Structure 1
Amino acid sequence: MITLIAGGGLSAIALLAGLLVSVNNALQYAVGSVRPEEFRTNELVGIPLTIAGAVGLLYLWPPVQRAVARVIPVRPGSPVMYLTVVLGLLLVSQQVGAQVQSGPPLTFGYLLAQDVPLLILCFVGVGIFVRRSPRSATERLGLVSPHRKRWWLVAVLGIGVFIAVAFAIEAVANVVSPSQQKQVTDVTTVLFSHFNNPAAIIFLGVLAAVVEETLFRGALLPRFGIVISSVLFAALHTQYALSFA
């Protein structure tokens, strides 16, 4: 019940906040208080937030939940599922309005403080110490030893393919949207300026891989299906804002 109230409350707050931002922004634009570019930026915050809140409240209606369940593997009537959908909607709406901008360089402590709670949440979500033992929870999340004899070969090939695809995407982005790609590159350079040695790079790669794979592939994918998991994954990987890169 608390989970259901939390989801509904978040949706209502998002709807009201989005409407407030959009209406106030429109009024200020009408009287000439904001420039056109500021108006568009503010609307990219207000409108997605309004839509996310409205859809979140609409999803409370059982017929809507049943209709969605026919398309994607979600369980109608589940408070946990409802809260997950609401949080996903809010995450996507926030990313739509995000702007490519720099900030202070990331630190080891910041990344640990950001990722370790997600890892803990994964174990809590699969019921460690409640429905599952630590070993069972670890297996449920897919944190097991590789079964293939030549798993290392698969890993090396996978890394090679990933690097090739990443370079290809960056090359295309430089052609399609060079100015935005330059912004993304500049922001990335500043954010990860502390990770400029082999040990730091390995730490960054291992931390991100373990946490993200555990969260998306281990915890979410088996429970919520490929569609929701993919949307949430994409929303968290939009390079600080929605862009081609």
Structure 2
Amino acid sequence: MNDYTEIIFLIASFSLLILLAYLVNKVDYTVQVKGTNSWNSVSHVIQALYACMFLLVILIALLTPTKNMYTIALIFVSILGLSFLIPIVRKGLAKVIPINPHSHVHTFALLTSILIPTTLFQSLIVPTSLSEVQQENITLVSTLSSIWAQNILCAVFAVIGVGYLTRRNWQQTRERLGLSRLTFKQLLGALAVAVVFVILQWGLTIVFTQLGLSEDQEVLKVNEALMAPLFNSAIGIISIGLAAALGEELVFRGALQPYFGIILTSILFALTHSNYGLSIGTAVVLVLGLGMGYFRKRYSTTYTMVIHASYNILVGTLDYFFS
């Protein structure tokens, strides 16, 4: 996939998700505020599209010649996605996490969240090899364009997804996403937490290594090859921090956590960082996600945005000087 094709694919896929998020919020608005069901059919069409997609994924997984644990996992998560279309399943889930089983928005959020493991397991059935990555023309411009495009689109998706332009004005949207001004003391606290997280990551890596759970070298080399342009420049390191803080935090800690809870949100967060294989790095990201989930609940999403940006920049800087 060349640079332009990747950017076009990102814009097209996220634009579709943003449009669907707008539509399901419009449905809930007409039901909850206007008291009419005039938009219900729109939500049913969207749910039917998800059902078709999950059924197609199951069929492809069953027919694929490559069979491994990820094939089974792909079939399982697709069946899970289909189950979220059943009201009684959502009612049962509502006893565990604070969702409204009758909300079209919450149903859409559940269905869309399944896209994360679905995409992951699809890519791991036939994982990207180091030789394939080395054949690609990976430049700083293309990598920067990709990371910023993805995270800006994620931010827009989060904003529209919680009801901006339909059910909420901008102030209400900010409050829903947990965006608030930090005091100087909170800013210093977030920076200190980022330093602790860097030390924690280092300690966990040592512990896992001592337990014989070392990183998959193929996965490690693929990640290094893909991220090399970013980690070899100041603008790249800063972008890794700022872009992720914008997009990932607004989606996970801002939009999802209040209803999905810290644990489920952190699992989804960890899976998004496992594009090229599950490894001890996935476990480390899960622990860090749980930590940021705690600080989101105690303070705000703005607080975790500072933690996330500072952590990524610190890790990138240390990698640049000591690798």
- Is the aligned partner of 1:157 residue 2:200? no
Residues 190-233 of structure 1: CA deviation (Å, up to 9, x unaligned): 11221213332122111111211111111111233334322311
Match of 1:197 in 2: 233
2:218 matches 1:183: yes
1:59 to 84, 103, 107: 84
Matches within 5 A, 1:96-111: 96=121, 98=124, 99=127, 101-102=129-130, 103=133, 104=136, 105=138, 107-111=143-147
Give the corresponding residue for 1:144: 180
Query: Contact 1:216–1:229 at 8 Å: present in 2 too?
Result: yes
In structure 1, the partner of 2:54 is 11
SS at match of 2:229: coil
The structure carrying a bigger helix percent of its residues is 2
How does the TM-score come out when normalised to structure 2?
0.62
Distance in 1 between residues matched to 2:74 and 2:174, nearest whole Å: 36
Quote the residue 1:86 is aligned against: 111
TM-score (structure 1 length as normaliser) = 0.80
Determine if the alignment matches structure 1 residue 209 to structure 2 residue 245: yes
Runs of 4+ in 1 over 4 A off after TM superposition: none
Partner SS state of residue 171, structure 2: helix
Contact 2:120 2:275 in 1 (8 A): no
How far has the Cα of 1:179 moved from its partner? 5.7
One-letter identity of the residue aligned with 1:188: N
Q: In structure 2, do the counterparts of structure 1 residues 221 and 161 end up closer, same or farther at CA, with 3 Å as the change threshold?
A: same
Taking only the aligned residue pairs, the percentage that are identical comes to 28
Specify every segment of 5 or more residues in structure 1 that has no aligned partner in the other structure, as ranges: 26-38
5+ long unaligned stretches in structure 2:
1-43, 282-323
Say what the alpha-carbon RMSD is for the aligned residues: 2.4
Say which SS state the counterpart of residue 218 (structure 1) adopts. helix
Question: Per the alignment, do residues 96 and 165 of structure 1 end up closer, same or farther by CA in structure 2, a change over 3 Å counting?
Answer: farther
User: 2:128 & 2:203 partners in 1: Cα distance?
Assistant: 21
Q: Deviations over 1:15-46 (max 9, x none)?
A: 2222222xxx3xxxxxxxxxxxxx5xx33343
The match for 2:159 among 109, 119, 123 is 123
Give CA-to-partner distance per residue, 1:117-164, whole Å, 9 cap, x none: 111111111222222223332332223210x34123202211111110
**How many residues are matched?**
225
Query: Contact 1:18–1:45 (CA<8 Å) still a contact in 2?
Result: no
